Chain A
Amino acid sequence: MNELWFDIMGAIVTVIVAFVVGITYMGLSRKITARVQNRKGPPFYQNFIDALKLASKTSAIHHGFMQHVGPAFMMITSIMSVLIIPVLRGNAWFVNLNFHGDLIFILYIMVFGPLGMALGAGQTGNPNSAIGVTRGLSQMVGFEIPWVMALVALMMQYHTTSIVDLMNVQIQSGMWLMFSSPFAFIAAVMAMLGMFRYSPFDIVGAPQELASGPMSENGGKYLFTLMSSGSIFAFAKLTLYVDLFMGGAGNLVELVIKTFALYLIPMLYGVTSPRYRTEQSIRWFWGWPTFFGFLAIIYAVVF
């Protein structure tokens, strides 16, 4: 029984760390965007304040049961992925469900929440929400191809589907997979641009044309849950990339440095790019990223 409580405490600590780090990154991204645009920008903790304000909103509306539970579905995805992805190497607090799932499970649990959220958005009856959802799902088909190709290349090369094993491979060989499987890393990073939905791939939210798309009917506590789930999920995705390609992290400082370095890629790419149309975005992902994915698989088979 004590072990169970220990596990639950560890899970709670993991989630809190993920929330804090993720939401700080979002604030930093606003700050950096502002600096690029020659503005002063909000303080880096601005997103904390936003989340707190949304949580302290006193009223909320929903259009039905699915919209009410949509954010909870989204939370399942975020928290499950942060629990299954190893946060730190060999730390007793962060061994949550690391040994209970593998890469393919992660791939599928990652779409659980967006689908539940999409159902919630669908029930609002707002046409903008449904359009945003169709765009998001279409784009997902686009970037999943290079992403899966990169993962398949890794799994083929090292004969494992476990993330922990892939981390161990990097420790034993002393070389990050980023350098030993470069093409897989390139394909995965290109897919990451779509995963984070920064410009030019922000076709789902698209505030100018879709009024924030699937979120357009969510306010107050619903938006708060979605926002915190988004920041936890962003942290989970970054940690997954660090685990797969940069050898994981031994302590939290190392983790923060590595994840932030990765986070800069989609953000800085986004600051200077206008938005794609949906089919342009899909075709972009089926162009060079998929080519690099093929190269990664050939590299994995040949070497």
Chain B
Amino acid sequence: MQEKKIKNKIIKRVKTNFKDARDRNDFKYNRLDFSVKKEIIPSVLFYLKDEMGFIHLSHISCVDWLEEGELEVVFILWSPEEKIKVFVRTRLDRDNPVMDNLDMIWRQANTYERELREMYGIQFTGLEAPDEFILEDWQGPPPMRRDFDTEAYSNETYFHRPGREDAEDVRETITKRSGEDIPDFAKKYSR
């Protein structure tokens, strides 16, 4: 009960301060969920950090909504006092994903932003990091986007040793040998 009260308080205060913040909270877990526009992301995060005690940035994640043509960036914050997580989501245009740099709020945001820049191609304005993060000398499109065909890229870039095509499926071979059927829950993984 206590937790729900606190959560309600937080939702109320965020909503009064930021008019277009939408929440989809289910109160099932110890977490809250807000969706805001990308322009007000810095002020929302500042507010949560300074006023509500969400002083720790756990992660910055990204979801590729290919069908809707958008990239969703998720900031995951943690309040050590209340033991509550907050997900702050925002949507960016998939063709031109640009948003503000946030590493002045949390230093560790720099690392996550460099990763997102390489893996999803999101540009953070004013991000100071000249070197590559993980992908040294990468030339292709951002590899974590869903429209990136990794097998085709691999075949095109690296050498392919023939012989893999007629390789047998492991489950089929085992069932053939032992005479048993593939279990239902495993069928969807088979080729």
Q: Do A and B touch each other in the complex, judged by CB within 8 A?
A: no
